[in-house]
Amino acid sequence: MTTFLLSSSSLSTINRRIPYSIKSYLHHPLNNTTTLSYYSKTRLSSSSCHTTLKTTTAIKAVLSDQQQYSKVGAQTVGSVPSDQLLQGVQLAANTGAQVVMEAVNKPRNISYKGLTDLVTDTDKMSEAAILSVVRKNFPDHLILGEEGGVIGDSSSDYLWCIDPLDGTTNFAHGYPSFAVSVGVLFKGKPASAAVVEFVGGAMCWNTRIFSAVAGGGAFCNGQKIHVSQTDNVERSLLVTGFGYEHDDPWATNMNLFKEYTDISRGVRRLGAAAVDMCHVALGIVEAYWEYRLKPWDMAAGVLIVEEAGGAVSRMDGGKFTVFDRSLLVSNGVLHAKLLEKIGPATEELKGKGIDFSLWYKPDDYNTEI
């Protein structure tokens, strides 16, 4: 086995062949201590120093020992014991789900937040039930609900992100999939999560609950779950979503939808972000991406994916927070390959002036992001 140093000419060749996601990682401002110049000084092993492919593989091996995609989960859950926080988030999600279950086979009372953006009485009743649980058990915590907005003490380190009925349009039509999603942030990072997914169909509805606490793994109905190990896009089943505004991001994602439909086993559009992410965590699909999700859409799902062994980033490959406007989650193995198309498409949107700044972060809420 030959040990060698990379020359500047070899480094230039390798740089052209490194996947988009790894370039994004190396040059991202948050990772500016790790640059390609570092690897030009690092000894790598290969059976042949003349094989660019093997050299590129060696660089990937070095990177695999590092953190390509920054962890989104909280490093600590703070003063509240992790088991207490998990029990609280599960109780809140299950309480909301009971409200939804009571209404699921009954006529809907529908109103509109936009031309096609629905809200039902069940959304509001579910959120009210969840709020009662949170206020009773964690009275000093801050709350961000899809329907009710910001409630509570903004000086709290904890922020509950509540989607009382994710997939309202599906619910309104009696079409699976929809869910109740509750995620708790500690200083801006997901600490605990629960998603109650409704499965089955008209007259035979049932539920399953996905849960996670930072550092404790991900579970479905109490059984530990893990993302798939599929390492080939052609053998993958993918999921995406589309917002209500038919503008440049919508058109860009429609093109991505078409591209990946051509080269994968299929791209699904289920219409419930929390459910989509739980399906990635369960290992039945390989990845999910979408523009312009809100914190209540993502806070629970991203932690469940990460704790199931998956990867989470923005759609440009950058470090993700729940206040970001783009999201890609995957089984981790395919993340770099997916970013080779999704990353440049997102950069093009940024070049057009599309706003990707943080949003829906409560004023004065203290974070470590």
CATH label of the domain that carries residue 218: 3.30.540.10
How many C-beta atoms surround the C-beta of residue 121 within 10 A?
A: 13
Query: Which of 133, 152, 132 is CA-nearest to residue 143?
Result: 152
Interacting residues of 255 by C-beta distance below 8 A, sequence separation 6+? 345
Let me know if residue 207 belongs to a domain.
yes
The proportion of the chain whose per-residue pLDDT surpasses 70, expressed as a percent, equals 80
Q: Are residues 344 and 309 in the same domain?
A: yes
Are 336 and 56 within 8 A, CB to CB? Answer: no
How many C-beta atoms surround the C-beta of residue 148 within 10 A?
A: 15
Q: Are residues 215 and 242 in the same domain?
A: no
| Bigger pLDDT: 113 vs 138 | 138
| Bigger pLDDT: 105 vs 236 | 236
The answer on whether 276 is annotated among ligand-binding residues is no
Q: Are residues 109 and 213 in the same domain?
A: yes
The pLDDT mean for the chain works out to 85
Q: Which amino acid type is present at position 279?
A: H
Report the greatest alpha carbon distance in the chain. 72
pLDDT tops 50 at residue 15: no
Task: Please give the pLDDT value at position 244.
Answer: 84
* pLDDT, average across residues 278-301: 98
Q: Are residues 247 and 309 in the same domain?
A: yes
Q: Are residues 103 and 187 in the same domain?
A: yes
The four Cα atoms 83, 330, 95, 269 give a dihedral, to 10 degrees, of 180
pLDDT tops 70 at residue 219: yes
Let me know if residue 143 belongs to a domain.
yes
| Bigger pLDDT: 20 vs 198 | 198
The answer on whether 364 is annotated among ligand-binding residues is no
Q: What digits encode the pLDDT tens for the residues 78-122? A: 999 999 999 999 999 999 999 999 999 887 777 776 665 667 899
* pLDDT, average across residues 196-217: 96
Q: What digits encode the pLDDT tens for the residues 320-343? A: 999 999 999 999 999 999 999 999
The CATH number for 340's domain is 3.40.190.80
The answer on whether 165 is annotated among ligand-binding residues is yes
Number of domains in the chain: 3
Q: Are residues 44 and 120 in the same domain?
A: no
Span of 16-30, 138-152, 183-197, 257-271 with lowest mean pLDDT: 16-30
Let me know if residue 357 belongs to a domain.
no
The proportion of the chain whose per-residue pLDDT surpasses 90, expressed as a percent, equals 74
What is d(CA 5, CA 13) in angstroms, rounded to the nearest whole number?
14
Domain of residue 315 covers 233-351
b/e burial code for range 156-174 (CB count within 10 A of at least 16 → b): bbbbbbbbbbbbbebbbee
Let me know if residue 363 belongs to a domain.
no
The answer on whether 166 is annotated among ligand-binding residues is yes
What is d(CA 184, CA 164) in angstroms, rounded to the nearest whole number?
14
Task: Please give the pLDDT value at position 111.
Answer: 74
Q: Please identify, among 224, 249, 275, the residue that sits at the C-terminal boundary of a domain.
A: 224
Q: Are residues 243 and 218 in the same domain?
A: no
Q: Are residues 271 and 333 in the same domain?
A: yes
Q: Are residues 220 and 91 in the same domain?
A: yes
* pLDDT, average across residues 134-156: 95
The answer on whether 348 is annotated among ligand-binding residues is no
Task: Please give the pLDDT value at position 61.
Answer: 41
Q: What digits encode the pLDDT tens for the residues 224-235? A: 999 999 999 999
Task: Please give the pLDDT value at position 209.
Answer: 98
Let me know if residue 360 belongs to a domain.
no
Let me know if residue 364 belongs to a domain.
no
Let me know if residue 162 belongs to a domain.
yes
Q: What digits encode the pLDDT tens for the residues 44-90? A: 444 444 444 443 443 444 344 334 789 999 999 999 999 999 999 99
Q: What digits encode the pLDDT tens for the residues 158-193? A: 999 999 999 999 999 999 999 999 999 999 999 999
Q: Are residues 206 and 317 in the same domain?
A: no
Let me know if residue 213 belongs to a domain.
yes
Are 303 and 155 within 8 A, CB to CB? Answer: no
Task: Please give the pLDDT value at position 7.
Answer: 43
Are 1 and 46 within 8 A, CB to CB? Answer: yes
Q: Are residues 123 and 200 in the same domain?
A: yes
What is d(CA 248, CA 62) in angstroms, rounded to the nearest whole number?
37
Q: Are residues 117 and 19 in the same domain?
A: no
Residue 68 DSSP SS3? coil
| Bigger pLDDT: 256 vs 108 | 256
How many C-beta atoms surround the C-beta of residue 26 within 10 A?
A: 20
